[in-house]
Amino acid sequence: MTLIKALQQPQTSKKEKVLLTGGTGFVASHVLDSLATNGHPVVVTVRSEEKGNRLLQSLSHFGASKQVQYAIVPDISTKNAFDSILRDHRFTYVIHTASPYQLSFADPINDCLNPAIKGTTYLLDSIHRLCPSVTRVVITSSSAAIINPPNHRDVYDESSWSDVSWEQAMQPEHTYRASKKFAEQAAWSFLEEHNPRFTIATINNTYTFGPLSRSLANSAKFSSAEVNTSNRRIWDLIHGKWRNPDGSAFIPSTAPVFTFVDVRDVADAHLAALTAPGQRYYTVGGFFSNYQIARIVDEEFKGVLGGDVLPDLKGQADDFEEDKHWKFDVSRSEKELGIRYRGLRESVRDAVVSMLEFEKGTAFN
Ligand code: NDP
């Protein structure tokens, strides 16, 4: 790992310095916005120089780049990958978002479980050994570490843990959710075993929607491959994938998870968790279904997208039935982190606007 480039100016802020992992990611992009807005000097980790430069360029369009540096960590599952960064900087806080998030993995262990679990424990170990100034590590966990499909609780809150097993983790459809549970458990175990100077908080966000990561290609080169996993259903909808050739709707099932949260609320939660009690924080904005997303996009964008893209929703049923559904209790995140959750309409609308802007290459205009 080499620290490649410091952007523009010397750091003058008196705000605490933050290490943010996975800086190119969807969630991290918004965490970075919140950190920069709040004046924190930040070192973000990215996997290549090209990605780091793209990130800095996009930030400079927003005048938010002065106190952001990037450092290259090609693979978080490499032991000591963070050592030189942690030796070189006096961080007060670390926010760990980096973790593989895809729907399936060719090699569950090497492509997903190792980066998620070892990536977390190696980072904590390096902080413990090398950066005594760190007081709090905030880890992006997931609602996947909380909820338990198909045997749902009546009400989920932070006291709940998924019972997904290591055997299930080898099946592609369960690998990701297992990686989040085992990575979070590894973090809490590290705390118990090593009693480090720092404390931990986790953000357990559910399906997260909203404006795309800034560091994507802002041009005609932009493609579906650039869209992060949780926003991809919205991308598919606005690219005609939920429409049959005769115009009727093909709306995929929403199951098993019918809860969403806006990425900007998730970012605010990470920031607030830097100084809140060291806890798990379940973050959910509300219920959603694919039908409701299609309805919102139809109402907001039909004129913009043209008549042959969106499906005809006449006669389509909503597969979400609130009275039959499990409930969630996010009072801890509301009370301790001060989050006032955005609604589905705002989240979907802003996601679509940002997708259209990236495609047109006008995202930074
Ligand atoms: P993204 O795929 O957009 O971001 C993931 C980030 O992790 C990217 O920067 C990626 O780098 C980096 N990364 C992945 N694997 C490695 C690795 N082996 N070494 C180094 N870096 C790696 O996903 P999100 O932003 O959506 O997810 C961020 C976090 O939020 C994850 O921990 C995810 O589990 C969690 N989360 C996300 C939810 C969602 O709905 N989006 C819901 C709940 C939790 P690169 O892009 O260069 O590959």
18-57 per-position pLDDT tens digit: 999 999 999 999 999 999 989 999 999 999 999 999 999 8
The protein residue whose alpha carbon is closest to atom 29 in ligand 1 is 97
The enclosing H or E element of 179 equals: helix 172-194
Mean predicted lDDT score pLDDT of the chain = 93
* CB 47 less than 6 A from any atom of ligand 1: yes
pLDDT of residue 2: 31
- The first and second tokens of residue 238, run together, are 């606005």
CB of residue 41 inside a 6 A radius of ligand 1: no
Q: Residue 12 pLDDT > 70, yes or no?
A: no
Which protein residue has the closest C-alpha to ligand 1 atom 36?
Answer: 142
**Residue 128 · residue 85 · CB < 8 Å:** no
Residue 8, pLDDT > 70, answer no
Q: Is 77 in the pocket of ligand 1 (CB under 6 A)?
A: yes
Task: State residue 63's pLDDT score.
Answer: 67
Contact 274, 200 (CB under 8 A): no
Number of H helices, E strands in the chain: 11, 13
In 3D space, the residue among 253, 257, 237 whose CA is nearest the CA of residue 180 turns out to be: 257
* Binding site membership of 204 for ligand 1 (Cβ less than 6 Å): no
Q: What is the value of pTM for the model shown?
A: 0.95
User: What stretch of H or E contains 143?
Assistant: none
Could you tell me which residues come within 8 angstroms of residue 58 by beta carbon, excluding any fewer than 6 positions away?
Answer: 214, 215, 218, 364
Looking at 114-118, 152-156, 361-365, which range is the least confident one?
361-365
Please tell me the residue having the least CA distance from ligand 1 atom 15. 100
Place of tokens 């997708």: 355
What pLDDT does 9 receive?
Answer: 37
- Tell how strand 259-262 and strand 286-287 pair up: antiparallel
What is the Cα–Cα distance from 23 to 7, expressed in whole angstroms? 15
**Atom 18 in ligand 1: residue holding the nearest Cα:** 75
Query: 10 Å Cβ neighbour count for 55?
Result: 25
Is 170 strand, coil or helix? coil
* CA 29 to chain CA centroid, nearest Å: 9
Cβ(321) to ligand 1 under 6 A? no
Torsion angle, alpha carbons of 185, 189, 192, 195, to 10: -110
Q: Is the pLDDT of residue 150 over 80?
A: yes
140 lines ligand 1 (CB under 6 A): yes
For residue 196, the model assigns a pLDDT of: 98
Distance from residue 97's CA to the centre of ligand 1 (Å): 6
Task: State whether the Cα torsion 80-84-88-89 is positive or negative.
Answer: negative
Asked if residue 65 has pLDDT above 90, the reply is no
Task: Assess whether the C-beta atom of 99 lies below 6 angstroms from ligand 1.
Answer: yes
Residues with Cβ within 8 Å of 54's Cβ and at least 6 positions away in sequence, in order, are 24, 215, 217
Cα 231 to chain centroid, rounded: 10
Comparing CA positions, the residue from 312, 326, 191, 209 lying closest to residue 261 is 209
* Cβ atoms 286, 343 nearer than 8 A: yes
* Mean pLDDT to the nearest integer, 130-146: 98
- pLDDT tens digits, 315-327: 999 999 988 899 9
Average pLDDT over residues 116-130: 98
Evaluate whether 206 touches 259 at the Cβ level (below 8 Å): yes
pLDDT, one tens digit per residue, over 164-215 is 999 999 999 999 999 999 999 999 999 999 999 999 999 999 999 999 998 8
Read off the amino acid at residue 169. A
- Nearest alpha-carbon partner for 355 in 236, 261, 247: 236
Does ligand 1 lie within 6 Å of residue 162's CB atom? no
Residue 3 has φ and ψ, to the nearest 5°, of -80, 115
Q: Where are the alpha helices (DSSP H) in 42-162?
A: 49-60, 83-88, 114-130
11 Cβ neighbours under 8 A, 6+ residues apart: 17, 41, 67
Span of 4-13, 177-186, 277-286, 313-322 with lowest mean pLDDT = 4-13
State whether the beta carbon of 311 lies less than 6 angstroms from ligand 1.
no
Q: What is the pLDDT of residue 334?
A: 98
Mean pLDDT of 140-145: 98
Amino acid at 60: S
Least confident range from 9-13, 17-21, 231-235: namely 9-13
- In short, whether 327's Cβ falls inside 6 Å of ligand 1 is no
Ligand 1: which residue has its CA nearest to atom 19? 75
